[in-house]
Amino acid sequence: MAEGYIKHQYEPILPQKDEWPVVKLSKSRKDFVKKVAEASKKSVLEITGNNIDLLKEELETTLYREKLRIKQNPWAVDPDDDSDFWRKVRQVLVQTSADPHLNKTQKKKKYLEVLDDITMRYAEEIASNFVHTHYKVTRRMVTFGFARLLNAARVKGIKSLFSNQFTLQDKIQIVGETDQIRELASKGTIVMVPTHFSNLDSILIGWIISVLGLPPFIYGAGLNLFNIGIFAYFMNALGAYKVDRRKKNLLYLETLKTYSSEAIQFGVHSLFFPGGTRSRSGMIEKKLKLGLLSTAVEAQRANYQKGQQNVGGKIFIVPVTINYHFVLEAPSLIQEYLSITGQERYYKERDEFSTSYKISKFLVKFFTKGSDISVSIGKAMDVMGNYVDNAGNSFDQHGRKLDTRDYFVSNGKVTVDQQREEEYTHHLGRRIVEEFHINNRVFSSHLVAFTAFQLIKRENRKLDLYNLLRLPEEDIFIVYVEFKEACEMVLNKILDLEAQGKLQVAPHMMQDIDGIISHGLDNVGMYHAKRPLIKNNNGNIETQDLSVLYFYHNRLIGYDLEKLF
Amino acid sequence: MTLKSSSKEKSVGVVGMGSFGTAIANILAEKSKVIAFARRAEVVDEINHEHKVNGVSINPTIKGTQDPEFLCQNCDTIFIMVPSAAFQEVIKSFSPYLYPYHLVIHGTKGLCLNLPEGKKLTDVQTISRDNILTMSEVILKETVAIRVGCLAGPNLAKELYAGQPAATVVASKYNEVILEGQRLLRTDKFQVYGNSDIVGVELSGVLKNIIAIAAGALAGMGLGENAKGLLVSRGMVELVYLGNALGGSLKSFIGLAGIGDLVTTCNSTLSRNYTVGFRLAKGEKLTEILESMEEVAEGINTIRLMKAFVEGKGMRAPITENLYKVLFEDLKIEDALQYLMKYPFSVDVDFL
């Protein structure tokens, strides 16, 4: 294996499972859920400014949307008493507002009770069900199962089933600041923020966390994944809490954010996909969803307010970049992207993972066929995006040590300022995007896809993107010599950028340009029915699916490489 | 920082005791203890012993210092009021003593060129937004201070010093900075507005300098109020277009720091930018004018940067482009005016 790849089993940093923050959390689950519900209630009251009419309005909006959801978009995972619960909420709301005998204080009391019920229900629904034995089983199953699949695919012959020639780490390469994240995880609280391209990411990250010897992280997983029994089991085992994207009401969103914030304050390591959903365009996320990210900033301030000055109360943001040659969902993702950005504003969130069969097919395909993956663990930062050392100290751009607490101080005291924290969250978001680009690892497949698409675009410069993508694929070809020249040009620029520390380059790029191109062509979107790029019989370059080519091309957007064309 | 020292009321810092800095220090001193920073020992001595700056009396409670560290330790809120040419250097000298708890508000109108190491504007010809830093962006780049704000508006130092009524804008992304600025500066005669579009407010103050040069030129040619009215209005349109392209919002440009400052500057015959335009129209060369001026007129630098920016962006800015030709390419000012009169502006206002 090329140098720079880390391949060994790390000792767990906390061998006793009782020391795992996530185990502690699950032991006090009941109290914790109560605490979350209480805190959410407080924050909803704060948002409505303690104004009883505004609160009533929020409750009514929530009720209306929930009834609509139950009617229009029910899922298997929804609890049976869903409609009963909301019917009762409705009754109370209607009675309270119509009852002439109630004075203002009594009415307020009634509304607060309803609010109590709803936040408690939401908190209970969101909370994870981590069970240690399940975690152990799952981890073993995943590692063992994947290794078998992998070897079956790669080692030929009868012995394949028992071969240990290839391990998962040959396929999934972990690079970057692995020692730092281990150090920091034993001192403070980690919030890991990976790029998100494939549904596989959460399983992948879960596996990486365990390989690195870290205790399990909690993370928000789409409630749709819990629709399927077996998946729900895995998700629960991995410490997932539930995020229901159908519920967009204030009460739910506040409860969700509070859950995350309180869990971080509890010292549980967390995982957010800050892009919100998979990157549909194939570009590295540029705009992040700031809702969950803001909970990291809030939790950090809360810790300082509680007087936790030392590293134990510090929160570390660790960006992680995942690179693939091949994203199984690419064709459907890019179609969705195009229909969103094009004129069709409306689209329905599709659930590709709707049946166990589809998932198993996906996994089998991935582990028998999928090509290599690299996961880069980025440098850890504090919640303001300053780099930290292994002891958890923050440093400014000039290498001067600084105290993160100072960011939350005014007139010598730690103060709460929502607006300030909103800006800080924006700032952190921008820093994470920067780090994503720096940690991005260029593969041969990205290079060829980028170059080919840019050449095609240059050839048809009069067309806008949508017309370009509608060109008949059979009419498009690129002469190899020209392609090679362009690839070299882009590669040189990429190596330039690497020297400046603006991105990283995978070791397989250290060969001659013909070698890189053929490696790239072999790997780019290799298992799609229609290949994004192939070499035809005359030795020229052709595409079978321009949209998918566009998807893989997008990976290198954000470095101004387009200007070369 | 210990809790003990924080319970005591801290001072407010003013960095740079030029005419504007002194006027602001005086206003601040009405309500707070003020520590003023000046680079030259004579100025500090004059402040501490005679309570004067350049012979003009100031509030006797203002303390002078030459030590950035002393100022930063004793002040949580710091006003940076130095000329743009010295801005970066001063910020660098303060950077080691600034911490994230500091609120930094600057009152400097200017832009900073941000090119890769070793390159000059003449090497690159055209520039993009990334190559231009506003003063608040300089602070963010060079220090860890993040709660940054700016002060801009029609604030002629002389009038402020004389205690005439005036208003200013404190702009920041952070409400707490705006509130703090208002708390410290507001007096019966000084109104303070808040704005969250800091870049827009900074750009207003910067871009209006271009128009100020043109206003001086019109006066130098002996043209009257009709021409001035035309200039202010067309200048406003250009300001809005350039400002939008640089990331400011329209609302800021038609506010106090934009149109308010533009009108004041175009009528203020004493400003350096106005003087440059005036003397150009009288037939002097730029080099002669610059030699006889103590400080550089900011508008000249702004015109140079904006011309390179406009070319990089592929947009047009007729007043700026023609002033550039007059300043650096020996175009006669009458010809420039002729060109502008013929320029096919067909629509009066098309940005609202």
| DSSP letters for A518-538 | HHHHHHTTTTSSS-S-EE-TT
Question: Of A439, A474, A497, which residue sits at a domain end?
Answer: A439
pLDDT at residue A248 tops 60: yes
Residues 158-177 of B with CB under 8 A from A: 173-176
Give the model's confidence band at B52: pLDDT under 50 very low, under 70 low, under 90 confident, else very high.
Answer: very high
Judged by a CB distance cut-off of 8 A, whether residue B95 touches chain A is: yes
Give the nearest chain B residue to A386 (CA atoms).
Answer: B144
Q: What are the CA-CA distances from residue B316 to residues A523, B309, B311, B321 (Å)?
A: 47, 10, 8, 8
pLDDT mean over A471-475: 84
Is residue A78 domain-resident? no
- CA angle, B129 then B135 then B139, to 5°: 105
pLDDT mean over A324-337: 82
Contact A420 B174 (CB under 8 A): yes
Which positions ≥6 away from A548 have C-beta within 8 Å? A330, A331, A334, A525, A528, A530, A532
Judged by a CB distance cut-off of 8 A, whether residue B63 touches chain A is: no
Query: What's phi and psi for A246, nearest 5 deg?
Result: -75, -25
More confident residue, A453 or B341: A453
Q: What pLDDT shows up at residue A355? A: 55
Give the model's confidence band at A151: pLDDT under 50 very low, under 70 low, under 90 confident, else very high.
Answer: low
Edge to edge, the sheet with strand A189-194 lists: A172-176, A373-377, A315-324, A189-194, A270-271, A218-222, A240-243
Q: What pLDDT shows up at residue A2? A: 40
pLDDT at residue A278 tops 90: no
Annotated binding-site residue numbers of B for NADPH:
19-20, 39-40, 109, 157, 272, 296, 298
Contact between residue B69 and residue B93 where contact means Cβ atoms under 8 Å apart: no
Which positions ≥6 away from A113 have C-beta within 8 Å? A92
Judged by a CB distance cut-off of 8 A, whether residue A417 touches chain B is: yes
pLDDT mean over A260-279: 89
Q: What pLDDT shows up at residue A199? A: 74
CA distance B328 to A371: 60
Judged by a CB distance cut-off of 8 A, whether residue A410 touches chain B is: yes
Question: Of A392, A415, A439, which residue sits at a domain end?
Answer: A439
Give the model's confidence band at A357: pLDDT under 50 very low, under 70 low, under 90 confident, else very high.
Answer: low
Closest Cα of chain B to A419: distance in Å?
A: 7
Contact between residue A354 and residue A551 where contact means Cβ atoms under 8 Å apart: no
Within this chain, do residues A431 and A455 fall inside the same structural domain, yes or no?
A: no
Give the nearest chain B residue to A395 (CA atoms).
Answer: B144
| Two tokens, residue A298 | 């809030």
Within this chain, do residues A450 and A435 fall inside the same structural domain, yes or no?
A: no
Judged by a CB distance cut-off of 8 A, whether residue A351 touches chain B is: no
Is residue A171 domain-resident? yes
Contact A384 B101 (CB under 8 A): no
Judged by a CB distance cut-off of 8 A, whether residue B226 touches chain A is: no
Within this chain, do residues A168 and A237 fall inside the same structural domain, yes or no?
A: yes
CA distance A478 to A469: 16
Q: What pLDDT shows up at residue A368? A: 59
Domain B200-342 in the same topology as domain B9-196: no
Q: What are the CA-CA distances from residue B170 to residues B75, B160, B167, B254, B257 (Å)?
A: 19, 16, 10, 15, 9
- CA angle, A303 then A308 then A314, to 5°: 65
Judged by a CB distance cut-off of 8 A, whether residue A409 touches chain B is: yes
Give the nearest chain A residue to B1 (CA atoms).
Answer: A412
In CATH, the number for domain B9-196 is 3.40.50.720
The pLDDT tens digits for B8-29 are 678 999 999 998 999 999 999 9
Is residue A76 domain-resident? no
Q: How many CB atoms lie within 10 A of CB A253?
A: 15
Within this chain, do residues A184 and A207 fall inside the same structural domain, yes or no?
A: yes
The pLDDT tens digits for A199-231 are 778 778 888 888 888 888 888 877 877 777 666
Q: Which residues of A touch B3 (CB under 8 A)?
A: 412
Judged by a CB distance cut-off of 8 A, whether residue A164 touches chain B is: no
More confident residue, A145 or B344: B344
Contact A412 B99 (CB under 8 A): no
Is residue A116 domain-resident? no
Give the nearest chain A residue to B92 (CA atoms).
Answer: A398
pLDDT at residue A372 tops 80: no
CA distance A531 to A521: 9
| In chain A, % of residues over pLDDT 90 | 45
Within this chain, do residues A158 and A241 fall inside the same structural domain, yes or no?
A: yes
Long-range contacts of A496-503 (CB under 8 A, 24+ apart): A497/A559, A498/A442, A501/A438, A502/A437, A502/A438, A502/A559, A503/A437, A503/A438, A503/A440, A503/A441, A503/A442, A503/A559
Residue B296 in 3-state DSSP? coil
Nearest to B211 by CA among B236, B176, B178: B236
CA distance A25 to A35: 12
Annotated binding-site residue numbers of B for NAD(+):
16-21, 157, 272
Q: What pLDDT shows up at residue B252? A: 93
Q: What pLDDT shows up at residue A3? A: 41
**Within 13 Å of residue A424, how many CA atoms lie on the same side as its CB?**
28
Whole-model pTM above 0.80?
Answer: yes
Q: Which residues of A touch B143 (CB under 8 A)?
A: 396
CA distance A296 to A191: 8
Is residue A358 domain-resident? yes
Q: How many CB atoms lie within 10 A of CB A393?
A: 16
Q: What are the CA-CA distances from residue A293 to residues A272, A476, B195, B273 (Å)?
A: 8, 44, 26, 47
Closest Cα of chain B to A136: distance in Å?
A: 44
Contact B144 A397 (CB under 8 A): yes
Q: What are the CA-CA distances from residue A62 to residues A67, A75, A82, A242 (Å)?
A: 9, 18, 14, 19
Query: What's phi and psi for A458, nearest 5 deg?
Result: -65, -35
CA distance A366 to A143: 14
For the ranges A423-427, A473-477, B66-70, B144-148, the lowest mean pLDDT is seen at A473-477
Give the nearest chain A residue to B103 (CA atoms).
Answer: A410
Contact between residue B134 and residue B206 where contact means Cβ atoms under 8 Å apart: yes
| In chain B, % of residues over pLDDT 90 | 67
Is residue A82 domain-resident? no
Q: Which of the residue ranges A27-31, A52-56, B33-37, B115-119 has the most confident prediction, judged by mean pLDDT?
A: B33-37
Within this chain, do residues A337 and A354 fall inside the same structural domain, yes or no?
A: yes
Counting the structural domains of chain A, the total is 2
Nearest to B79 by CA among B127, B164, B9, B18: B18
The pLDDT tens digits for B299-339 are 999 999 999 999 988 888 999 999 999 999 988 888 888 88
Contact between residue B80 and residue B87 where contact means Cβ atoms under 8 Å apart: yes
**What is residue A229's DSSP assignment?**
H
Query: What's phi and psi for A114, nearest 5 deg?
Result: -60, -45
For the ranges A349-358, B39-48, B59-68, B166-175, the lowest mean pLDDT is seen at A349-358
Contact A397 B173 (CB under 8 A): no
Contact between residue A74 and residue A149 where contact means Cβ atoms under 8 Å apart: no
Within this chain, do residues A333 and A197 fall inside the same structural domain, yes or no?
A: yes
In sequence order, the β-bridge partners of residue B151 are: B170
Nearest to B204 by CA among B271, B109, B114: B109
Cα-only R_g, chain A:
25
Query: What's phi and psi for A80, nearest 5 deg?
Result: -65, -30
Is residue A4 domain-resident? no
DSSP-derived secondary structure for A64-82: HHHHHHHHH---TTS-TTH
Within this chain, do residues A347 and A229 fall inside the same structural domain, yes or no?
A: yes
Annotated binding-site residue numbers of B for substrate:
109, 272-273
Closest Cα of chain B to A401: distance in Å?
A: 10
pLDDT mean over B66-88: 94
Judged by a CB distance cut-off of 8 A, whether residue B6 touches chain A is: yes
Edge to edge, the sheet with strand A477-478 lists: A477-478, A541-542, A534-535
Is residue A496 domain-resident? yes
Residue at A428: amino acid letter:
L
Closest Cα of chain B to A397: distance in Å?
A: 8
Q: Mean pLDDT over all residues of chain B?
A: 90
Q: What pLDDT shows up at residue A365? A: 62
Within this chain, do residues A138 and A262 fall inside the same structural domain, yes or no?
A: yes
Among the partner-chain residues A386, A411, A419, the one whose CB lies closest to the CB of B6 is A411
Q: Cα B274 to the chain's mean position, in Å?
A: 15
Closest Cα of chain B to A285: distance in Å?
A: 20
Interface probe for B, chosen from A309, A382, A396, A401 (most Cβ of B below 10 Å), is: A396
Judged by a CB distance cut-off of 8 A, whether residue A501 touches chain B is: no
pLDDT at residue A257 tops 90: yes
Nearest to B242 by CA among B317, B334, B178, B191: B317
**CATH classification (class only), B200-342:** mainly alpha
Residue A415 in 3-state DSSP? coil
Contact B99 A403 (CB under 8 A): yes
Interface probe for A, chosen from B146, B178, B184 (most Cβ of A below 10 Å), is: B146
At A348, which CATH number?
3.40.1130
Contact between residue A407 and residue B146 where contact means Cβ atoms under 8 Å apart: yes
Question: Of A423, A439, A455, which residue sits at a domain end?
Answer: A439
Q: How many CB atoms lie within 10 A of CB B116?
A: 9
Contact B100 A397 (CB under 8 A): no
Q: Which residues of B touch A397 (CB under 8 A)?
A: 144
pLDDT at residue A263 tops 80: yes
Question: If you search the block for the tokens 């509130």, which residue do you land on?
Answer: B179
For the ranges A174-188, A352-366, A369-383, B244-258, the lowest mean pLDDT is seen at A352-366
Residues 360-399 of A with CB under 8 A from B: 384, 386, 396-398
Q: What pLDDT shows up at residue B35? A: 97
Which positions ≥6 away from A133 have C-beta within 8 Å? none
Judged by a CB distance cut-off of 8 A, whether residue A502 touches chain B is: no
Q: How many CB atoms lie within 10 A of CB B50?
A: 12
pLDDT at residue B192 tops 90: yes
Among the partner-chain residues A412, A419, A423, the one whose CB lies closest to the CB of B3 is A412
Contact A412 B76 (CB under 8 A): yes
Judged by a CB distance cut-off of 8 A, whether residue B137 touches chain A is: no
Residue at A377: amino acid letter:
I
Q: What pLDDT shows up at residue A150? A: 57
pLDDT at residue B347 tops 80: no
Domain boundaries, given as residue ranges, for chain B = 9-196, 200-342
Q: What are the CA-CA distances from residue A233 to residues A202, A226, A238, A239 (Å)?
A: 14, 8, 9, 10
Give the model's confidence band at A135: pLDDT under 50 very low, under 70 low, under 90 confident, else very high.
Answer: confident
Which positions ≥6 away from A163 have C-beta within 8 Å? A151, A155
Q: What pLDDT shows up at residue A337? A: 84
- CA angle, B221 then B224 then B228, to 5°: 95
Within this chain, do residues A320 and A377 fall inside the same structural domain, yes or no?
A: yes
CA distance A478 to A542: 7
What is the interface pTM, i.e. ipTM, of the complex? 0.88
Nearest to B180 by CA among A544, A410, A251, A27: A410
Instruction: Tell me which residue range forms the domain holding A500.
Output: 441-564
Give the nearest chain A residue to B11 (CA atoms).
Answer: A411
Q: Mean pLDDT over all residues of chain A?
A: 85
Contact A411 B144 (CB under 8 A): no
Q: Which residues of B are catalytic?
A: 208
Judged by a CB distance cut-off of 8 A, whether residue A423 touches chain B is: yes
Within this chain, do residues A414 and A445 fall inside the same structural domain, yes or no?
A: no
Within this chain, do residues A257 and A134 fall inside the same structural domain, yes or no?
A: yes
Contact A402 B95 (CB under 8 A): no
Give the model's confidence band at A266: pLDDT under 50 very low, under 70 low, under 90 confident, else very high.
Answer: very high
Contact B6 A398 (CB under 8 A): no
Q: What pLDDT shows up at residue A317? A: 97
**β-strand A441-442 against A477-478: which pairing, if any?**
unpaired
Judged by a CB distance cut-off of 8 A, whether residue A500 touches chain B is: no
Q: What are the CA-CA distances from residue A184 to residues A181, A194, A561 (Å)?
A: 5, 17, 36
Question: If you search the block for the tokens 């600057």, which residue do you land on?
Answer: B106
Annotated binding-site residue numbers of B:
16-21, 39-40, 109, 153, 157, 208, 261, 271-273, 296, 298
End-to-end CA distance of chain A: 35
